[in-house]
A and B are shown apart, each in its own frame.
Chain A
């Protein structure tokens, strides 16, 4: 009985094969159709769009490059600048989030943290108190922070003997991922006000910092899993072979975590590349990113489908190319043969 074993396509009955391939083909059509629609729409004149749903260039309508000319030539610089902004912001925030996040994840996967709940509560109360005092009574913030830190240290030392539950690594991890539970729109206004007060609205830095922060929990969460799957024995073996901690991380851990690093980086890069809501709040002109430009095509003159299509194509193209290039790294089962006989 092989009731619960997956069969290879090759060993299926011809009728089953037809059904399976039929379903797969149908699904491929469903997935690819929107892309096709975008491509054909980018080649239509406004009149062809208005004439209703037609899909075959040269048959239903005569293709035109007018939209492509408009985006690349007529408003060329206005396309190029947001595009460059998107590249800068997405790449920089991805690099930052990957660097900080994977180090944090490695730490969480290898060392056991046991902060006492009392200490954490004292810390939060202290910082909150300092903020209230600065806001209400206009005390100099440096003074308030210094006083708060001193109080935190004294209080946590005094409470050292008090019985208190410990937090563990899984609590830290959950706290991090819980930052993604709130819908971003809730945080958008406070973030806007913060950067407004700092005079950093409409800058690359504001977007990079925000995206890095928003993506950090995802990086930590995913990379933690990858690091956990690397056997400890390998590190201990390298340690006995004479390697330092840094060399172990660089020569043993990183190469083995590479598929995970690439997959995570790709995901985070795509999230940053496609991000719309926070960019809408934080950038107005100079730092505007490409998703904003796409939505801007639905402006006073009504939706400009043809321009939008061109922008969508050039926006998704690099992501598709990157995925194709990096796929072989992600799929590679590098850990095979590390341990076990």
Chain B
């Protein structure tokens, strides 16, 4: 089902945590709300769930205005960061609780529990209590409890953040597959850009309660709308160099790089991702500097070069070798250079 937020705002006392948020989530879409802590992403999710009253604006689910509807009447299911399993109920009772509340008979309930439990591979653990399960198993119980009643919308609040790194990668794949199979609209909150990039159909990046960009992961990465988005997405982060724009060229201390932008400006920032730079011989690149450090990651090497005033990180091949202090040049891939207005952070196109 579709979910839409129209000019939804939230204030706690005099503190405004969400500014007029507009979101349209399509049927069956996997939308990720991405942001640092305090960006308002969890508040937005809790308002969609109905756990947090809306200060102003309208929320609709499947075309119905639910702004002032109780959580239980919205037909949404939520997976909490803490899983929020009922500790005094067995796995089967936990999964079956939403059905019990809907007055389903025992036989019907058991069949539904069995089916969902098999989907998330919990079939053998139905009689256990949450305290007897591992973190990953608890996670799956929480998922099963959300799935069992086929809600209109899934809401997930950092569901993977309590798992260790390996399990998290595994559950990510499972989650993506499950959402794809069930086709239920999902809104997913995370601070982890990898989760956002890998899971989402579209990512909504929030900062200080404002929507910075809403687009597909590919577009967000390749065509960031502003300095914040460019800096938030990507690991290691995009290199940022301050300078001026003169007749379409970025200029700084003897460096002159032609860009796709025309005109002149005093205060600009040039952004280039590590993989869009190449270490070349001295005096042949767009930038010059001394090798500060090299880090072999495995499939590639990160080379940090200190230029006149900045530090630029470039991805090189795994065989790359250089000694510290060695003078090198950095060539930049044409067309992969971003320019931002240093004053307001907006992209200059």
Contact = CB atoms under 8 A, between A and B. Distances in A.
B84 A234 contact: yes
B51 A239 contact: yes
Interface stretch (B2-10, B132-140, B312-320): B132-140
B82 A339 contact: yes
| B interface residue count range (under 10 / 10 to 19 / 20 to 34 / 35 or more) | 20 to 34
A336 B130 CA distance: 8
B97 A238 contact: yes
A231 B101 CA distance: 21
B325 interface: no
B84 A236 contact: yes
Given A341-B135, A341-B138, A341-B139, A241 B87 contact: no
Contacts of B166: none
A240 B49 contact: yes
Interface string A54-94: 00000000000000000000000000000000000000000
B102 A231 contact: no
A338 B130 contact: yes
Nearest to A243: B101
A240 B131 contact: no
A255 interface: yes
B72 A341 contact: no
A237 B78 CA distance: 7
Interface string A328-341: 00000011111111
Interface string B35-73: 000000000000001110000000000000000001110
Contacts of A239: 51, 70-72
Nearest to B134: A341
A337 B132 contact: yes
B83 A341 contact: yes
Nearest to B164: A341
Given A237-B80, A238-B97, A242-B72, A337 B49 contact: no
Contacts of B51: 236, 239-240
A233 B162 CA distance: 15
A242 B138 contact: no
B171 to A, nearest CB: 11
A231 B162 contact: no
Contact of A241 (B82, B83, B145): B145
B228 interface: no
A170 interface: no
A256 B88 contact: yes
A222 interface: no
A337 B138 contact: yes
A236 B132 contact: no
Interface string B156-171: 0000001100000000
Given A233-B84, A337-B85, A240 B130 contact: no
A255 B88 contact: yes
B332 interface: no
B88 A334 contact: yes
Interface in B272-328: none
B83 A240 contact: no
B87 A336 contact: yes
Interface in B96-151: 97-98, 101-102, 129-133, 135, 138-139, 145
Interface of B: 49-51, 70-72, 76-78, 80, 82-88, 97-98, 101-102, 129-133, 135, 138-139, 145, 162-163
11 contacts: A236-B71, A239-B51, A240-B72, A240-B76, A241-B72, A241-B145, A244-B72, A252-B86, A256-B88, A338-B130, A341-B135
Interface of A: 231, 233-234, 236-244, 247, 252, 255-256, 334-341
